[in-house]
Amino acid sequence: MTLYSIKKILSRIIVCLVCLVSWANAIELNGNVSTETEYSNNSNLVSTKKLDEVSQLVGLDFNVLENRRDVQANADFRIESKRYFKNTFSDQTSLTAGFGLFNVNLIDSFLNWQTSFTRTEVLSDTTDTNTPDNREYRNILRTGPSISYQISRSSFMGYTLNYVSVENSGETASDSQRVNSNLNYKYLFNTVTDFSISGQYENVIDSEENEKYENISFSLGLIRRFSLGDAQFNYGRTRLSPKRGDATEGNYFDFKLNRKKLFWHDISLTYLEDISDTSIGFESDEQGAETGSGVQRSVSTNDVVKRRRLELEVNRVLGSLSYAIKGFWENQTFVIQENDEKSLGLSVGLSNQWTQNLVTEFDYIFQIDDFIDRPEVGKDRVSTYELGCRYNIVTNFSVSSFVRFSSLYNHQNMTREYEEFASGFGFVWSFL
């Protein structure tokens, strides 16, 4: 990412913060600075001609939190610089952001203006390894008015209209500008049951490659609350029509189940089925849903993608010990390229607080990536083991260290296989 692009993004953030300051007298800011030095015996993730590398990552994090009657804000921003001492990869400076939201109430309980900015990492080529040369950034800016109208005590109507700007750092990726509108109706059947109807229309008004789409979707929804949990269900149809070529239709299916203290565990189950164009991806991508590799699985070229994804997460806290088990299954079909990809993954995380200041953690991640329509690529099996510890020297200063072993095995294509050992240490200082 160029320095000019970073300055441009920072200027947008500063403008938003200045606008917030004019509406609110006090904003809660949290910030910290961190650094991590890492050694890897196979930084380019190959089986032959391995390159060892020492890298240093320096990061500056900010969290903006404001919750008043007229202004609400909640966003995370991170500026980081990574240096490779043996020049295996080019030094990088980048800005990342969480799911940031700035909301200004123009007319109380009726009209407001929302602005959000998200920044995620995507893989340029899903068949290649997760190295800096195979990563791109995707910036999505949404801004526009939102109207809420209460028809009766049990009926609500809402409408949003957003201008959406999508910027991808890759040279082959297509940037776009689009208009998105959403109309929804919610009916409160009783204290534990809600029904909803929604319709969405999205039109790509400008694209670098003149790849313009119209996205029309319609869905029916149900929310059911029960003791220690809730269930949400939405079903509909989505139609994605490119300017050139045939339209693609498919089901929109969204199911979420949350249950606390089920056999002493907190459980979350999610299933999503939808269609999108790859230049922007899915809403779950913007909100940080990642695979075990830590970045979004995407492609830089323009395409229409159908996705089905199932996730299960189980958590429990048992005294000083806590653990989380996550599993997912995903199927992606790229319509234009006529490629199918399937992924299956499992992660286990253990954390134990030995003393008030000392915490140890262990993580295991296993993932299978099956490139069905590309037999020359084969099926990757990636395993990662990581052991780390963190010690708080004082309230706002902590040090940490880790050791990690990663491996990839592919019986159809052994040239893709690799093993990597890495270790590192760092510190975090909270100054706000």
pLDDT digits (tens, 9 = 90+) for 290-328: 444 455 665 556 778 899 999 999 999 999 999 999 999
Which pLDDT score, from 0 to 100, does residue 313 have? 97
pLDDT tops 90 at residue 339: no
Exposure on the CB side of residue 125, measured as CA atoms within 13 A: 10
pLDDT higher than threshold 90 for residue 182: yes
For residue 12, pLDDT beyond 70: no
Query: Which residues contact residue 390 at a Cβ distance below 8 angstroms, ignoring those fewer than 6 apart?
Result: 358, 359, 360, 361, 398, 399, 400
Q: What is the SS3 string spanning 354-410? A: CCCCEEEEEEEEEEEEEECCCCCCCEEEEEEEEEEEEEEEECCEEEEEEEEEEEEEC
- Given a contact cutoff of 8 angstroms between Cβ atoms, the answer to whether 120 and 150 are in contact is no
Q: At 122, is the pLDDT very low, low, confident or very high (cuts 50, 70, 90)?
A: confident
Average pLDDT, the chain: 86
Stretch 75-82: mean pLDDT: 87
pTM value? Answer: 0.84
Rounded CA separation 50/65 (Å): 45
Contact 66, 102 (CB under 8 A): no
pLDDT of residue 291: 45
Token reading at 331: 């199927």
Rg (C-alpha) for the chain, rounded Å, is 23
Amino acid at 101: L
Residues in Cβ contact with 2 at an 8 Å cutoff, skipping those fewer than 6 apart:
none
Quick one: pLDDT at residue 267? 97
Please state, in angstroms and rounded to a whole number, the distance separating the CA atoms of residues 19 and 24. Answer: 9
pLDDT tens-digit readout, 232-247: 999 999 988 877 778 8
Q: Are strands 193-207 and 155-168 parallel, antiparallel or unpaired?
A: unpaired
In whole angstroms, what is the distance from residue 44 CA to residue 420 CA? Answer: 9
Counting residues of the chain whose pLDDT is more than 90, the rounded percentage is 54
Give the pLDDT confidence of 245-300 residue by residue, as tens digits.
788 888 899 999 999 999 999 999 999 999 988 878 887 776 655 444 455 665 55
Angle at the Cα of 16 from the Cα atoms of 13 and 22, rounded to 5 degrees: 140
Task: Identify the pLDDT of residue 41.
Answer: 96
Supply the DSSP symbol for 93: E
Collect contacts of 8-17 with beta carbons under 8 A, ≥24 apart. Answer: 9/95, 9/117, 9/119, 9/139, 10/95, 12/117, 12/141, 13/77, 13/117, 16/102, 16/115, 16/117, 17/64
Tell me the mean pLDDT in the region 74-86. 89
Q: How many CB atoms lie within 10 A of CB 410?
A: 18
Q: Report d(CA 375, CA 356) in Å as an integer.
A: 52
